[in-house]
Amino acid sequence: MLLNWLNVREATELGHSLADHLVPQAALAAAAHGKKVKPVDQKAIEAFLRRVDREARPLQLNLFKRAKLANSFKWRLLENGIEQGRVDELTQMLLLRLSVNGASMVQADGPAAAAPKRSRAGRVDTLLFEAIEYAKKGSRTEAIRCYEELLELDPRHFLARNNLGVALLKAGRYEEAERELRRAIEVKRNYPDALCNLGTLLRSKGFIFESETPLRRALRLSPQHVEARVSLGLTLILAGRLGDAKDSLEKALKMAPRHVDAWIGLAEIAHLEGRFQDAEALLDRALEIDSKAPNAWGARPRFRKMTRSDAGWLEEAEKIAAGDIPPMEEAVLRYAIGKYCDDVKDFPRAFRSYQRANELQKEAAKPYDRRIRTNFVDDLIRVYTREALSRPAPGSSNSERPVFVVGMIRSGTSLVEQIVSSHPDAKGAGELEFWVGVGRKQETTVRRELPSEPLREKWAEAYLRTLRNHSPDALRVVDKSNFNSDYMGIIHSTFPAARFIYVQRDPIDVCLSCYFQQFNTTLAFTMDLSDLAYYYREHRRLVNHWRAVLPPSRFLDVPYAELVVDQEKWTRKILDFIDLPWDARCLDFQETQRPVLTASSWQVRQKMYKSSVGRWRNYEKFIGPLLELAGLEDP
């Protein structure tokens, strides 16, 4: 049969035929009556692959017709009741078999010299099938072993590379997973699945903005790629682009209405926007589809305060966490169980759950290197002296628009941002990555000397443009990235009129709150109590330096414990400090309607409360390394 004989309609029909041949008629009848379809066994797959070799591969279809055939095959399997994950695996097998560089065709006979090649190809097929079966059962170690053995036989088997990357990702072995996914893309440059998985991996590692590029590339190659569209939506949520995220997730749901992660993503958007009832309803929708989805169960405690009437939630969450699920999904549930137990004041059980969550999280993170942090702080203190910062700064901007709310993570910076953002002349921009990005890209320069005139001018123009994108007319725009605490000298050198509001919180409370929060794996210091104590001391040493070298008119300390006791007094001080007139709306900050893209999204929409002050005393017997910070208060 010649290539031209197969038009698009015929490609679609062949895809349907292959799917119908793969699923026995008995299974079709069962599906028609709403019964669960039995898994496709190895014998059926081997027969299916032989039929593909016999009927489809000789056609040497172009990319478009291969896509049409595979798409019709996929949707027919879904119609026939085969579950989504299995369908994706079978479709991958089909596409690999159809590709020019795929597995060798099965031949009924041939020259004796071809026998070793056929035997090798058969072994590759067997290992691929076994690996997929192991992965399906959650046997990640065995799946990884099969993929590795397969890749020794065929190093350019891009499907195995991709699937190995996914298996390593689910096992929490991020560095190895990234290596395999990038190798899969090297072998097959325009490989949507590998690009999608790489984007998802980068997001899991905390590289939010870097993850968007491979996801968008996957969608350019395959606009109907549901997983890439959902993953892009989840990335956009973390990037703070909630409108774009919602659009991406809703498009995915039009193609796959039962996609659990898409519903969870929409629930997260509702939560960040303060629509808590909507968020719960969307979670319920996800759980109607998959009653044991770890990410859906784990989200519930973040959306509200739990009570003992939620004991059914706890029982089911414990069951799911104890099951055979990937380590990072168990971590999500362990943090959630810890939050439940803390809410109901079962503190020993809460700590045990948080401890388990952090142990799982640490397995996926690079070990925290204290020496690197100390050297970084030493360099900044050496370069950014009072004398150096008091000199004229050519290229700097005299703009007073930027307001920086800084402090340790979980110190109350979101609360202060919400208070200021409630003023009609102010706008909260959330946690901008600008200065952290500057510090990474120009690390050698900023650790050696003050920025040059061209750099100051470039940064000032770019940052003011970023602020305008958030608000073209607000007198003050708040950037509350906690890690701007590291770069106050660089920022002051570029914006000498900018103000810094530093939020102080009891060091044990703030470190314990970090330990109880699931951050991405780049923040490895938050996953160990000793590392947290060390990080806090270095943070305090650097902030004390900034407090000493910056002009007093540019630096305001706001003690969290005093703010929650005398809200109006400290709100007035904050507004006076940034030269804004008094506005009583700042006292009702919880009524301000704006997305809050931090872990404090729920808290800042409650009235001021004092229960977080001295919280660590509930856990005193568990947190030995943090107790060394007792009495270590800022000036």
User: What does 153-181 look like in DSSP terms, one character per residue?
Assistant: H-TT-HHHHHHHHHHHHHTT-HHHHHHHH
CA 435, chain centre distance (Å): 21
Q: Is the pLDDT of residue 26 over 80?
A: no
Please, which pLDDT band fits residue 357 given cuts at 50, 70 and 90?
A: very high
Q: What is the pLDDT of residue 609?
A: 56
Output b/e per residue, 203-212; b: 16+ Cβ within 10 A.
Answer: bbbbbbeebb
Length of the chain: 635
Tell me what the pLDDT averaged over the chain comes to: 85
What gap in Å lies between CA 13 and CA 80, rounded to an integer? 15
Q: Is residue 502 part of a domain?
A: yes
Q: How far is CA 213 from the centre of its chain?
A: 14
How far is it, in rounded angstroms, from Cα 204 to Cα 231?
Answer: 11
In this structure, is residue 36 part of a structural domain?
Answer: no
Indicate if the pLDDT at residue 42 is higher than 70.
no
Instruction: Look up tokens 């229960």; give the residue.
Output: 611
Find the Cα–Cα–Cα–Cα dihedral 233, 238, 239, 245, rounded to 10°: 20
Q: How confident is the model at residue 115 (pLDDT cuts 50, 70, 90)?
A: very low
**Are 161 and 132 a contacting pair, CB within 8 Å?**
no
For residue 502, the SS3 value is strand
- Residue 30 above 50 pLDDT? no
The answer to whether residue 403 is domain-embedded is yes
Tally of domains in the chain:
1
Q: What is the mean pLDDT of residues 135-148?
A: 86
How far, in Å, are 172, 176, 180, 184, 508 from residue 166 at the CA level? 10, 10, 9, 11, 38
Cβ atoms within 10 A of the Cβ of 330, count?
Answer: 21
554 falls within a domain: yes
Q: Establish if 500 belongs to a structural domain.
A: yes
Range of the domain at 439: 393-627
Q: Which residues contact 239 (CB under 8 A, 6 or more apart)?
A: 208, 209, 212, 245
Inside any domain, residue 94: no
Tokens of 577: 């400090």
- Note the pLDDT of residue 104: 37
* CATH number for the domain harbouring residue 468: 3.40.50.300
Q: Give mean pLDDT, residues 63-73.
A: 73
Report for 78-82, 172-176, 347-351: range of highest mean pLDDT: 347-351
Helices (H), 550-588: 560-565, 567-577
Contact 271, 281 (CB under 8 A): no
Per-residue confidence at 109, pLDDT binned at 50, 70, 90?
very low
In a domain, 178, yes or no: no
pLDDT tier, 114 (very low <50, low <70, confident <90, very high otherwise) = very low
Alpha-carbon gap, residue 298 to 294, rounded angstroms: 6
Structure tokens, 6 = 């197969």
Contacts 24+ apart (CB under 8 A), 125-130: 125/46, 125/49, 127/153, 127/160, 128/93, 128/157, 128/159, 128/160, 129/42, 129/45
From the list 239, 346, 302, 208, the residue with the least C-alpha distance to 517 is 302
- What backbone torsions phi and psi does residue 361 show, to the nearest 5 degrees? -65, -40
Any domain includes 284: no
**How confident is the model over 312-335, as pLDDT tens digits?**
999 999 999 998 888 889 999 999
Instruction: Give residue 28's pLDDT band: very low, low, confident or very high (50, 70, 90).
Output: very low
Residues 478, 427: contact at Cβ < 8 Å?
yes
Instruction: Give mean pLDDT, residues 364-391.
Output: 94
Count the helices and strands in the chain (H runs, E runs).
Answer: 31, 5
Band (112; pLDDT cuts 50, 70, 90): very low
Sorting pLDDT into bands at 50, 70 and 90, what band is 37?
Answer: very low
**pTM here?**
0.77
Q: How high is the pLDDT of residue 16? A: 80
Q: pLDDT value at position 3?
A: 34
Would the pLDDT of 608 be above 70? no
* 378: CB partners within 8 A, 6+ apart: none
